[in-house]
A and B are shown apart, each in its own frame.
Chain A
């Protein structure tokens, strides 16, 4: 007696494999596929024409670093403590600290960073420097266009990191 699965098994009938049924199925499937690809044309493109249009980034996107100054006094926030360099897993930050003197006052603290360099060709943009900094002196900005022709040009100095960013990266709005 053959096994009868009863109502537990749903039997789906479809054309058998074989020349005539297979041909018919291939024909129908081809028409379906043609309809599918044509609907792609009517839907339009999703391309972002990159150098002209840029992909907007999220507010918490981690791009190129920025060093900050106090808005009111204009003094640098960085005090040269090297905690960022200690936190950096890629070991790409170099800080050399110097004492502030009354006639050469650079930062708000006792010391300041005489040299502050980030080697962006090694940086992995993890954001640990931002977390480690006790004075919020370094943050990761939104710029992601950092390609250059020389490796040495990717070592960003303090002046470059302090400079106002070119504001060329569009930010994603809340509804995007």
Chain B
């Protein structure tokens, strides 16, 4: 039987379940926090307070939003493809959450005498795992738009599909330089390399910029939120969704933002590493989360600053600028790695 991806487990089964639960719960709880941060900070960027009414300083606003959505009627349009309509938000959620599995929060540590890697899994295909689930995530959007049998949803999902495919190529190519320098696909190896040498955004600056922009496009965040352009498409692929299913799409968008911020942190900004300091193990997951929040702040900052692209601008930017840049970056890195080695 061919082995497609080697997944090295060395923990007992109960530790695998425990750490999977802990990682999922901790990071999933970042979603309502990101939601709230989005609204609060957008307010601050516009001389406003943002939500202030629910709970102290409006801190429970996200909980109230989610609660309201979950208790609404589970409505589906009459002429929708029922089964696909139901399964589409689930696909979006699952693919967004699955990428969490490979993000390392720390190296191997001792927990009650058990050697544990503070990450879900460390498969040999490493970062390709994230791209694979990014590819499947596109089915969530596509099926969601197509199965709801509405022209706005359909157009939105078509745009989402085109956008995801165009920017996934640039994103994949921008990572090549990193992989060549480190010599491994595993995210744990990438962070360990950065611990020993230097953070990869310095030698791979162009790759980092391309990955950043493509990451914005992959998560459908402004200025790349064309799939849901309100002015033209009502809400894009989730136009016909309401209640809990809409909440699932919405949460998946924010979870994607959290995950891509974790990937920025891990691949280019040293993961758990603090430079010039041999930090203790317990602080490393916190370092990762803090760096992640810096990027979430950046996401919101960009959202407050840039207007949405036009569709042809989006396409020409992806294909004519990002893709050549990423290709040149990969080529130059390849030559330099061979020459300097």
Contact residues of A with B, CB < 8 Å?
A: 19, 23, 30, 33-34, 36-38, 40-41, 43-47, 49
Contacts and interface: CB of A to CB of B under 8 A. Distances in A.
Given A19-B321, A23-B321, A40 B47 contact: yes
A45 B49 contact: yes
B45 A41 contact: yes
A33 B306 contact: yes
Contacts of B301: 34, 37-38
Nearest to A20: B321
Nearest to B324: A19
Contact of B49 (A30, A40, A47): A47
Contacts of B44: 40-41, 45
A41 B302 CA distance: 13
Contacts of A30: 305-306
A47 B306 contact: no
B303 to A, nearest CB: 10
Contacts of B305: 30, 33-34, 36-37
10 contacts: A23-B321, A30-B306, A37-B301, A37-B304, A40-B47, A40-B304, A45-B43, A45-B44, A45-B47, A49-B49
Contacts of A19: 320-321
- Tell me if A's interface is mostly helix, strand, loop or mixed: helix
A19 to B, nearest CB: 6
B105 to A, nearest CB: 29
Given A40-B46, A41-B44, 16 more contacts: A19-B321, A30-B305, A30-B306, A34-B301, A34-B302, A34-B305, A36-B305, A37-B45, A37-B304, A40-B47, A41-B45, A44-B47, A45-B44, A45-B47, A46-B47, A49-B49
A33 B320 CA distance: 24
What secondary structure prevails in chain B residues at the interface with A? helix
Interface string B19-41: 00000000000000000000001
B52 interface: yes
Contacts of A40: 44-47, 304
A45 B42 CA distance: 12
B94 to A, nearest CB: 34
Contacts of A45: 43-44, 47-49
Interface of B: 41, 43-49, 52, 301-302, 304-306, 320-321
Which of A36, A37, A44 has the most B CB atoms < 10 Å from its CB? A37
A44 B45 CA distance: 9
Contacts of B304: 37, 40
Contacts of A37: 45, 301, 304-305
A49 B49 CA distance: 9
Contacts of B48: 45, 47
Nearest to A35: B305
Contacts of B41: 41
Contacts of B302: 34
A77 to B, nearest CB: 44
B307 to A, nearest CB: 9
Nearest to B53: A49
Interface core residue of B46, B305, B320 (most chain A CB under 10 Å): B305
Contacts of A46: 47
Nearest to B43: A45
Contacts of A41: 41, 44-45
Contacts of A43: 47
A36 B49 CA distance: 18
Nearest to A22: B321
A53 B44 CA distance: 19
A38 B41 CA distance: 10
A30 B301 CA distance: 11
A15 to B, nearest CB: 15
Nearest to B300: A37
A125 to B, nearest CB: 29
Contacts of A33: 305-306
A46 B46 CA distance: 9
